[in-house]
Amino acid sequence: MEEKKSSTLNGAAVPDDVKGELALGETVSKQECQSELVSGSTAEPKLRLKIDFHVMPLVSIIYLLCFIDRANIGNARVAGLEKDLGMSGYQYNTCLSIFYISYILFEIPLNMCCKWIGPGWFIPVCCIGFGVCTIGTAYVKDFSQLCALRFLLGIFEAPMLPANAYYLSRWYRRSELTFRLSLFIISASLAGAFGGLLASVILRLPGIGSVHSWQMIFLIEGVVTVIVEFIALATLTDRPESAIWLTEEQKTLAADRVTSERIGTTEVIDQYTRKKFMAGITSPVAITTSIIFLLNNITVHGLSFFLPTIVQTIFPERTVTDQQLLTVPPYALGTVMCLIFCFLSWRLDKRGIFLIMFAPFSMIGYSMFLATSAAHVRYAATFLPVCGIFAYGAMTNSHVSANLVSDTARSSGIAFTVMISNFGGLISTWAFLPFDSPRYRIGNGLNLAAQSTIFILAVGKYFWIRTTNKKRASRNVEAELNGLSVAEIQDLDWHHPGFRFRN
């Protein structure tokens, strides 16, 4: 369903000549003037705060539950899952890999379905699906049943990150998006913290019928997910136009402030075209950023699935409950650092420099893992990677969104970035192997190499953007657009001669 085309700014009529210039996107400066006109309104901060309170809490809770339901298998493993199901060798790694196979295959198709159906309906329905899969995992009897449910879980969770990032891009400006993305992406680090806390509490509860120990983790967390998502199905607002909690003037302002930053664009939600779809997945920024996200996901998902196991090898004399609790502090630090860095990104309207800054934390941490066998030093090393790895989720997706113009291109570009990144999750499932315990030199060495490569790519992309923008500044925008229709100009997306990449 399309949004109404905007013809006002802050409630005032836009002159026909201005609308024509915006439709053709003749210069960057005209687009920036419109952006300044919208942002200069005193009504905008009030509107942004209203959107924050109505949209962000539910989106954050949804992603928190998503990551808990994905990663709780790590807590269940420590609590006896492998023993009860008769698993051995590399079967645990195999069931983790199966999740990512379906996750990768369904990433882009489901995110395009999200645009077609509308995220306000699509996101909660997918969440109910993965909640049911989590409940079902409590009743598995063998390895094959566990693999089947992990495959289904991957399908329902596949669109969660790109769909939520795309959804928020309907509501927020480029500079605002990183911090808002961080508010739900920190759910990944909170999920690690809450996952350990919940597991330690749940494991103390008496069983329910035939369900006991690790099975209770899946049952309780799955039931909570389903209950919350039925609430989301009734309350998650699909788009500004359908927000009953906004006035008509606020709905107009909400659309105008988003379109004001998109050169050659006059509407928030555009018609799908193949050219705009391809623009999203062929953008040099999207391709490079997706590789950075892939490499970072090797670290993030390796940590989520194997941190309980790593802690267990560092402190083998501790009880299972204590080992679960020791996974909480690193995630808590990761949450705080993610918020700090993403808040600075919002205020500075910068992302590229932060993509460079995060990697050295992990490079130092994994060097420590490889250099020593001292338990307390190795545990201290788990605190360094989390200082940057969770913030990458917000930075990479907002960076891609900031460097694409149309709604369609952003939908496909974000989905492409997340799809490629999940190969990192697939790789991570084979990073920490049983024969490599307790030092896990392969896994820690792989993470060191991945984060070092991120640093090189981020530096290279940063300077490529600066060089490319200097070349674009010399182009004759009016001459290159001469003879093109409005639709053809909109299909250009980032190829538009007046477009500038954002660092």
Cα of 448 vs its chain's centroid, Å: 22
Q: Which amino acid is at 210?
A: S
Among 29-33, 246-250, 381-385, 452-456, the minimum mean pLDDT is found in 29-33
CA distance 57 to 62: 9
* Residue bearing the bigger pLDDT, 365 or 6: 365
pLDDT digit string, tens, across residues 456-470: 999 999 999 999 999
* Residue bearing the bigger pLDDT, 361 or 488: 361
Count how many Cα atoms sit within 13 Å of the Cα of residue 470 in the half-sphere of its side chain.
5
Q: Mean pLDDT, to the nearest integer, of 417-435?
A: 84
Mention every residue, 6+ apart, whose C-beta is less than 8 A from residue 374. Answer: none
- In degrees and rounded to multiples of 5, residue 432 shows phi and psi of -115, 100
Longest dimension (CA), the chain: 75
Mention every residue, 6+ apart, whose C-beta is less than 8 A from residue 350. Answer: 503
Which range in 69-78, 312-321, 380-389 is most confidently predicted, on average pLDDT? 380-389
Asked whether residue 15 carries a pLDDT value surpassing 70, the answer given is: no
In whole angstroms, how far apart are CA 370 and each of 175, 285, 398?
A: 38, 33, 33
Cα of 26 vs its chain's centroid, Å: 33
Q: What is the per-residue pLDDT for 19?
A: 38
In whole angstroms, how far apart are CA 217 and each of 86, 171, 301, 354?
A: 19, 35, 19, 36
CA distance 369 to 296: 17
Work out the pLDDT band at 485, boundaries 50, 70, 90. Answer: confident
Asked whether residue 352 carries a pLDDT value surpassing 60, the answer given is: yes
CA distance 349 to 372: 40
Q: Where are the alpha helices (DSSP H) in 118-173?
A: 119-137, 143-157, 160-169
Q: Which amino acid is at 334?
A: G
Q: What angle do CA 112, 115, 120 make, to 5 degrees?
A: 130
Asked whether residue 118 carries a pLDDT value surpassing 90, the answer given is: no
Q: Parse the chain into domains and list their residue ranges.
A: 45-240+266-495
Which range in 132-141, 170-179, 320-329, 483-492 is most confidently predicted, on average pLDDT? 132-141
CA distance 188 to 185: 6
pLDDT digit string, tens, across residues 82-114: 999 999 888 988 988 899 899 888 988 888 888
Beta-carbon count within 10 A of 310 CB: 26
Domain 45-240+266-495 falls under CATH 1.20.1250.20: yes
Cα of 235 vs its chain's centroid, Å: 22
Q: What is the per-residue pLDDT for 25?
A: 41
Identify the three-state secondary structure at position 432: coil
Asked whether residue 316 carries a pLDDT value surpassing 90, the answer given is: no
Which range in 204-213, 251-260, 304-313 is most confidently predicted, on average pLDDT? 251-260
In whole angstroms, how far apart are CA 193 and each of 162, 243, 469?
A: 23, 33, 42
Closest CA to 497 of 484, 483, 480, 486: 480
In whole angstroms, how far apart are CA 418 and each of 95, 111, 123, 411?
A: 21, 10, 16, 11
pLDDT, the chain, mean: 82
Closest CA to 72 of 292, 241, 219: 219
Contact yes or no for 289/178 (Cβ under 8 A):
no
This prediction has a pTM of 0.72
Q: Which residue matches tokens 């999740």?
A: 99
Q: Where are the alpha helices (DSSP H) in 349-499?
A: 352-371, 375-381, 386-402, 407-428, 441-472, 477-481, 486-492
Mention every residue, 6+ apart, whose C-beta is less than 8 A from residue 471. Answer: none
Q: Kindly calculate the radius of gyration of the chain based on its CA atoms and give it in whole angstroms.
A: 23
Q: Which residue matches tokens 């390895």?
A: 143
Contact yes or no for 68/188 (Cβ under 8 A):
no
Q: Which residue matches tokens 């399309």?
A: 2
Torsion of CA 231, 233, 238, 243, to 10 degrees: -50
pLDDT digit string, tens, across residues 199-253: 778 878 887 877 888 899 899 999 999 999 899 888 888 888 888 999 999 988 8
